[in-house]
Amino acid sequence: MSFDPAKVEDFKALFEKQKEAIRHFEGCRHLQLWQDVSQPNIFFTYSHWESEDHLNLYRESQLFRETWAATKALFNDKPAAWSTQSLHILP
């Protein structure tokens, strides 16, 4: 997600406010927020969901609708999202 540089702190505050509710939403097993090193206005959320159905329940929830509405107001570019699966984990 690419944010207006002047709104980065607003996004970080929003994530801080919502992170526990997102992480404890049914089916969410892991949640991280990553920030690009060279472009500090670019962020990624990285989450693990028990199933695609759980992720879709979150996407249809009031929590998501409210969080997404507040988040997208801060963008300076179109966001992108991917659903992936792990193929290898190396210790």
The answer to whether residue 90 is domain-embedded is no
In angstroms, the CA 16 to CA 10 distance is 10
The answer to whether residue 79 is domain-embedded is no
Count of domains for the chain: 1
The answer to whether residue 89 is domain-embedded is no
pLDDT at 49: 96
The answer to whether residue 55 is domain-embedded is yes
pLDDT at 86: 87
The answer to whether residue 86 is domain-embedded is no
pLDDT at 35: 98
The answer to whether residue 44 is domain-embedded is yes
> Which amino acid is present at 65?
R
pLDDT at 90: 87
Predicted confidence (pLDDT) per residue in 33-76, tens digit:
999 999 999 999 999 999 999 999 999 999 999 999 999 999 99
Predicted confidence (pLDDT) per residue in 22-33, tens digit:
999 999 999 999
- Domain range holding 36? 5-72
First to last CA, the chain: 29
CATH of the domain at 10: 3.30.70.100
Residue 36 backbone dihedrals phi, psi, to 5 degrees: -65, 135
